Every structure is written in structure tokens, then in C-alpha cells.
Amino acid sequence: MIARPRLRSLRNKLALVFFAITAAAFSAIYFYVVPQLESNLEQRQLDDLRLAAEENRLRFETAIGRNLSEQDLKDRVSNAAEASDARVTLLRVEASLSGPRDELTMRFPLLFETKDVPLNRGLAMRAVNARRPRTDVVTDDGQEFGQVAQPIEFRDQLRWVVIYSRDFEDVTDAVSFVRNRVLLATGAALLIALLGGYLVARRLAQRVRRLELAAGEVAQGRFIEPLPVDSRDELGALTRTFNEMQVQLRQLDVARKEFIATASHELRTPIFSLAGFVELLQHEDMDDDTRREFIDTMSEQVARLQKLSVNLLDLSRLDSGSVELHDEPVDLAELARSVLVEFAPAIADHDSVVDVELPEEGPEARCDRERVAQIMRILLDNALRHTPTGTHVAVRANRGNGAAGLTVADTGPGLPGAARNKVFERFYTGDATRGAGLGLAIAHELAERMEGRLVLTSTRGKTAFTLKLPAEDGDR
């Protein structure tokens, strides 16, 4: 197996992915959510301050135009500060003409303030110009303040500006507390993500490694016991698929070995037989009758070799997908009659009686004529080869349920139960001395390629193979 660098292993990659996702999530909280929280808290403080300024406006409006003492005015400022929980600064609004163009200049001399706070005359100017409250956030000696400037009018004349100031110490403390907790939570989460991700990734990597080792064994031709399927996730499904693949590969391997053994036997017997006859013909003096008998036997062996080579070629083409099928309407009865004519010598040699039940016309099927004739030849050859001499053979064609059928039946001994389940498997033969077990496998695959099927019905004293194909439209 190829050794992987540690950083390239699936285990470490998954652990780092969990770590990175956790780090990204908490980074978003720290750099986006927490500042957003701070901004929201500050805005809420400013909204509360503006509401308090509105509630205290009447307190100052009623003081304008009255001969209040300095102490009374100072008390109103103090009461407003207490009611709003803020520091209150009272500024007078003075306007004068100045400059070369007699421009209006605004001044805001200080009247009273509850505590020392940044004097924001710019905020007062904005409030006077807008004739409505304005807000601002200022910093003094590293401390942030939220401020609201409330203009006070008397008889449509701006007389005062009241500035309410509240420090953001509570907001700063709250945000600082949240940041600290987020940092602690981030450290704990990163540690848990790294350890947890490592353990989960290690478990996944072990399962993947197990599949890798098993695949390596199978690749070298050493089949192993099925792997345990210990989950229902994707790896569990992959394990099940691997086990199924291994079963199929094992079957193919067994079939390949059986094929080699069977093909070797099938080829060796006629080749050795031919070699022996050729040697006898070359070195022995024999009469004409013996020579003719030898030549006839050699012809049989050559025919056997030809049939085996054709079957092997057909199987190779089926496996490679190079078999071309032509979809055309075919009269099954007419095709069966032409094939029976070909088999007339074989039927006579077998001393068999063939019962032909074929209608004058039809049934017609959508199929490849040459491939159906090939299946018919395989079925007839099978009926004659694997039954005793004199066995009755029946050939029928019919239609029904949207299908056209062609049946070859015989009154032979039938097939045992075990053979019925394997008769269409490649290289299977109940009698190894008669053929390589390829004909029915080829017929079965050809039927399926033509969207049909080959059905076996076997009882004691009767065996029937029925080819069912899609019927031609209008012939149902």
C-alpha cells in the first residue's frame, strides 16, 4: 500500500475541516455578531435617552419667560438629570449678525450642567437647525458617551438647547463580558471540534482503510470473507456494494476457471482424436470402408470444434456489446419451418418424431430474424442431443397477452430440480460429455437483448423451452 503523508490522510483532513468550520463560526460571532450587539445596545441607549428628553421638554418650556431664580433653574436641570438617568447640560441659544456679509452666527453659552461632560456645541447646532432632537456618540478620555440635543422653543423662538449625556459604560461592560465568554467558548469549541473531529474521522478512516485493504486483496485475486456492514450510512452502502461485487467477481472467477477447464477439455478431445486419426491415415494401410469411417468421425470432430468456436465467439460478442440486432417483424411459424428443414437429417438420424403445430400465418414478433433462428437451432439441438433416441419433439407457435411465442418441447426424462435453476448459466451442463453448456446461455442472453425471455417448463417426462418476444402491433 502507498504510505500517505499525515496531512493528506482522510483522518487529519476531516479533523482539520471540523476545526476550520468551528473557527469560522466563532470568528463570525466575534467579529460580526458582537459588534452588531454593541451597536444595537448603544442605539437602544440613545433611543431611551431621546424618549427621556421628550418627556422632560415641558419642564424647560414652562421655565422660559418666567422670572425663575438661578437656583430654580438649576433644580429643573437636576430633576431632569435624575428623571432621565443622564447628565444634563443647558445651553442658551444666541444669534448675532457678523462677518462682511452680516451672516447669522449662533452661539451657545453654558447656563448649567449637572456633571462635567464633553460640551458638544456642534450637536446643539444641528438640533437648532433641524428644530428637532439630534443624537451623537462622542469619546472623552477613552470613554464613550451617547448624547441627545433637545431644542426648547418659546413663542416660535429657540431659546435653549438641552443636551442629555449618558456614558456607555454598561454597554462596554456587557460587550466585554460577551467577548470574553465568546473567546472562552471558542477555545473550548475548537478543542472539542479538534478532538471530536479527529475521533470521528479516525473511525471513518478505519472503515475506509478496511475497504481499501479488502479491495487490494481482491485485486490480487484473493477473495476474503464479506466485510461486516455496521452502519446504514454511505460507507455502509459502499461496504454492501463491495461485498456484492466480490460475490460477483468470485462467481466470474469460478466461471472463468470452469470455462478454461471445459474449453480445454472440449478442444483437447477432438484435437487429440483428429491427430490420432491423421496419424493412422498416414501410417496405416486400411481398406476403403475403414478409411471412410475414420473420415466421417473426423468430420464429426471438426463440426464439434466449429460449433464450440462459434459459441465462444458469440459469447465474446455478447460480453463486448458488439452484437447488432435488427428490429423487424418476423413470422415465427415461417421461420420455424425453415429451421426444421435444416434439422431434417439430424431428426432422421435421431429417429425422432416431430409434431409441428404452426399456423399458416403468424404470429409475428418484433425481433432479429437471424438471432431468433439461432435460438431455434439451439433449442432443437438441445432437444435432440440430451434425449434418448426416438424421443418425440414438438414445435409450436402461438400468441397472447401482447407476446408472440415459439416453443420447442420434448418427451425426454426432464430436468432435475437443481439443473432447472442453473440451466441458463454459462458453462453449466448436466452431462459434461455432451457439449460445453454454452448454447442455452447464449439463447437466454439473446432473448433478453431482444426484450424477450426464454422460459423453461420441466416435469418428469416432459421439457419445454418457450421463447416469448414482443408481438408486432396489430397482432395481439
Q: CATH number of the domain that 427 lies in? A: 3.30.565.10
Q: What are phi and psi of 360, to 5 degrees?
A: -65, -40
165 and 47 part of one domain: yes
Predicted confidence at residue 48, as pLDDT, reads 92
Same domain for 372 and 460, yes or no, is yes
Of 130, 158, 174, which residue constitutes the final position of a domain? 174
Say what the pLDDT of residue 3 is.
46
91 and 26 in a common domain: yes
Residues 282 and 379 in one domain: no
Give the pLDDT confidence score for residue 433 in this predicted structure.
46
Q: CATH number for the domain including 50?
A: 3.30.450.20
Residues of the chain with pLDDT under 70: 1-11, 96-106, 255, 258-259, 262-263, 265-266, 269, 283-284, 315-316, 319-322, 417-418, 427-437, 473-476
Q: Identify whether residues 404 and 431 lie together within a single domain.
A: yes
Determine the angle formed by the axes of helices 234-283 and 288-320, rounding to 10 degrees: 160
**Would you say residue 359 lies in a domain?**
yes
- Domain termination residue (choose one: 287, 319, 351): 319
> For a pLDDT cut of 90, what percent of the chain falls above it?
6
* Residue 48 resides in a domain: yes
pLDDT for the residue 323 = 76
Q: Which domain holds residue 447?
A: 324-470
- When divided into structural domains, the chain yields a total of 3
Averaged pLDDT of the chain: 80
Whole-angstrom distance, CA of residue 308 vs CA of residue 125 = 109
**Grid cell at residue 207:** 472503515
Same domain? 259 vs 351: no
pTM comes to: 0.46
Domain C-terminal end among 289, 304, 319: 319
What's the alpha-carbon Rg for the chain, to the nearest Å? 51
In a domain, 222, yes or no: no
Full 3-state SS string of the chain: CCCCCHHHCHHHHHHHHHHHHHHHHHHHHHHHHHHHHHHHHHHHHHHHHHHHHHHHHHHHHCCCCCCCCHHHHHHHHHHHHHHHCCEEEEEECEEEEECCCCEEEEECCEEEECCCCCCCHHHHHHHHHHCCCEEEEEEECCEEEEEEEEEEEECCEEEEEEEEEEECHHHHHHHHHHHHHHHHHHHHHHHHHHHHHHHHHHHHHHHHHHHHHHHHHHHCCCCCCCCCCCCCCHHHHHHHHHHHHHHHHHHHHHHHHHHHHHHHHHHHHHHHHHHHHHHHHHHCCCCHHHHHHHHHHHHHHHHHHHHHHHHHHHHHHHHHCCCCCCCEEEEHHHHHHHHHHHCHHHHHHHCCCEEEECCCCCCEEEECHHHHHHHHHHHHHHHHHCCCCCCCEEEEEEEECCEEEEEEEECCCCCCHHHHHHCCCCCCCCCCCCCCCCHHHHHHHHHHHCCCEEEEEEECCEEEEEEEEEECCCCC
CA distances from 370 to 221, 299, 310, 336, 364 (A): 39, 26, 14, 12, 15
pLDDT at position 411 is 87
Q: Are residues 310 and 356 in the same domain?
A: no
For residue 459, what are the CA distances in angstroms to 389, 439, 462? 19, 21, 5
Tell me the C-alpha distance between 317 and 311, whole Å.
10
Q: Does residue 246 sit in the same domain as residue 142?
A: no
445, 343: one domain: yes
